[in-house]
Structure 1
Amino acid sequence: MDEKNRLGSSFGTAAAVYAEHRPDYAELAVRWALEHAPGPRVLDLGAGTGKLTATLCASGAEVVAVEPDSEMLTELRRALPDVRALRGSAEEIPLPDGSVDAVVAGNAMHWFDMNRAGPEIARVLAPAGVLAGLWNVVDDRVDWVVDLARIGGSAVIGPRDTPASWRAETADIYRPESGAAQFDSLEQAQFPHGQQRTADSLVATLATRAGMLVMPEPQQQATLGRIRAFLTSRAETAHGEFTLPMLTCVSRVRRIAEVRRLPPPTVR
């Protein structure tokens, strides 16, 4: 298994903890993602434990969730029993052609094989349907977050996890040669967000990152120990609850509507 697949398949081992500690998504970000969708039918692709699914449902969307990991899917069904939730992947979506008005993915699109997923997503989208990726990133314009990233290393704050790196990393997902040739030009936006944490709960959250989950346990415990010591040493994070400053960042494109070609005029 290559490194991307190894990291992407790591979450099921911590599905319950993931469901408890991972943040939701900014409502304004979800609203912007779906702004141009031609209807209310939304596919949450790579839905995980339903963090984005819940926000979509609250927005009034008609949601179907698709997730490849059985343990993550179990958590989603437990938390959101009224949502239609199916086993499947971005590369093999278990839905009919043109059956949704938008496809969204929360912190998941970078795991997709877009050479296969791009045409498959276009297949299930209605004409002019929207494809949007949402990522929660930490706001590294805040001093203590910069220090946290330095102490935690790339396993904790990695590619796509800060505003600047997110823009560069996610733009590549939508390159036409990456399977996105059936979509129009990319738009990006970011929206303020935050998560209420304590030092202990932030450590627990960071322990659900893919890089941490695949780390050998002695190294993992040492890294988490350094993070805990840092958080308990800072005035901003040492005592009780604090807000982890975040942004929900969104990339969106629209499926290129099929052009109806008229028959050539009859020559008399």
Structure 2
Amino acid sequence: MNDGRATSFGAAAADYEAARPDYPFDAVAWMLENMPHGSRRIADVGAGTGKLTRVLADAPDAEVVAVDPDPEMLATLRSAVPGVPTFVGTAERMPVPDASLDAVVLGQAWHWVDPAAASTEIGRTVRSGGVLGLIWNTRDSRVAWVRRLTAIMHSSAAEEMLAAGGPTIAAPFREVEAGQWEWSRAMTRAQLHRMADSRSHLITASEDERCAIHQEMDRLFDELGLRADETIEMPYVTRAYRAVRS
């Protein structure tokens, strides 16, 4: 991982689990559809609290392991997705043998890694013809109020990377394919605040800065007429990428 913020999430594991969205099944299925037929040995790297792990674990005959640098996140994952083996590690240092996997996936995580080193290391663990899949849920900032919310919370490393053209995947993986899915979820004020608290900028910010951000969020919600007992539709765009190992 290439940024101290990457290992800050354990402090907000409960907020991350409660407020971050799940991944659309269709996007996850697309990411893995080129996996060798009949094979389902998958590692979820940067697995966090298991948002992506649980989708993978529901697939028929899937053998899933979860890898993350933060033991606190993995502890939450073990409660959320019982029975999935967990290991401390990173995309650059995978705790699995050579050619032992059919796919490696990363949800909301590739922007924290060294793409060249991670591609090489994941290439070591994935057999020829296996898949590397990357996926992000991002708020749709084409919508004016969402754009204002993002400005208040500050853009994330993921949003900056995707805006700059998307992820880089290196050898031994071949050309990168991309897919996109649009959807929305109803969220309350409280969920929106917890979502903000799960972001690396707020986790590592001072108490004064966190308070100022939440106050500004509340001013926006007041303008939108979002009362405490109501929900607003948060529009999302899920972006997924896949590449096959040579």
Normalization by structure 2: what TM-score? Answer: 0.91
Q: What is the aligned counterpart of 2:25 among 27, 50, 75? A: 27
1:88 CA displacement: 1.5
Name the CA distance, whole Å, in 2 between partners of 1:149 and 1:66: 29
Point out the more displaced range, 139-148 or 96-105: 139-148
The one-letter amino acid paired with 1:105 is L
Which sections of structure 2, spanning at least 5 residues, go unmatched? none
1:199 CA displacement: 1.3
Q: Return the structure number with greater relative CO, CA threshold 8 A, min gap 6.
A: 2
C-alpha distance after superposition, 1:160-182 (max 9, x if no partner): 338xx6253533x32xxxxx121
C-alpha distance after superposition, 1:228-259 (max 9, x if no partner): 22113204x44612221101111111111xxx
Name the CA distance, whole Å, in 2 between partners of 1:153 and 1:18: 15
State the partner residue of 1:18: 16
Name the CA distance, whole Å, in 2 between partners of 1:245 and 1:210: 21
Name the CA distance, whole Å, in 2 between partners of 1:147 and 1:30: 29
Name the CA distance, whole Å, in 1 between partners of 2:28 and 2:180: 11
The count of residues paired between Structure 1 and Structure 2 equals 242
State the partner residue of 1:9: 7
C-alpha distance after superposition, 1:32-55 (max 9, x if no partner): 100101121111011001000011
1:248 aligns with 2:235: no
- CA root-mean-square deviation: 1.9
State the partner residue of 1:223: 213
Name the CA distance, whole Å, in 2 between partners of 1:36 and 1:249: 17
Name the CA distance, whole Å, in 1 between partners of 2:163 and 2:103: 21
1:213 aligns with 2:203: yes
Name the CA distance, whole Å, in 1 between partners of 2:74 and 2:186: 25
State the partner residue of 2:46: 46
C-alpha distance after superposition, 1:172-207 (max 9, x if no partner): x32xxxxx1211111111112333310121011111
Tell me the SS of whatever aligns to 1:49.
Answer: coil
Normalization by structure 1: what TM-score? Answer: 0.84
The one-letter amino acid paired with 1:143 is A
CA contact (8 A) 1:207 1:224 kept: no
Name the CA distance, whole Å, in 1 between partners of 2:183 and 2:73: 24
The one-letter amino acid paired with 2:100 is S
The one-letter amino acid paired with 2:221 is L
1:105 CA displacement: 0.3
State the partner residue of 1:183: 173
C-alpha distance after superposition, 1:55-83 (max 9, x if no partner): 11123332111111010011111111211
Name the CA distance, whole Å, in 2 between partners of 1:51 and 1:134: 11
CA contact (8 A) 1:192 1:248 kept: yes
Tell me the SS of whatever aligns to 1:190.
Answer: strand
Q: In percent, how many aligned pairs have the same letter?
A: 37
Tell me the SS of whatever aligns to 1:184.
Answer: coil
Cα 1:229/1:200, change in 2 over 3 Å: farther
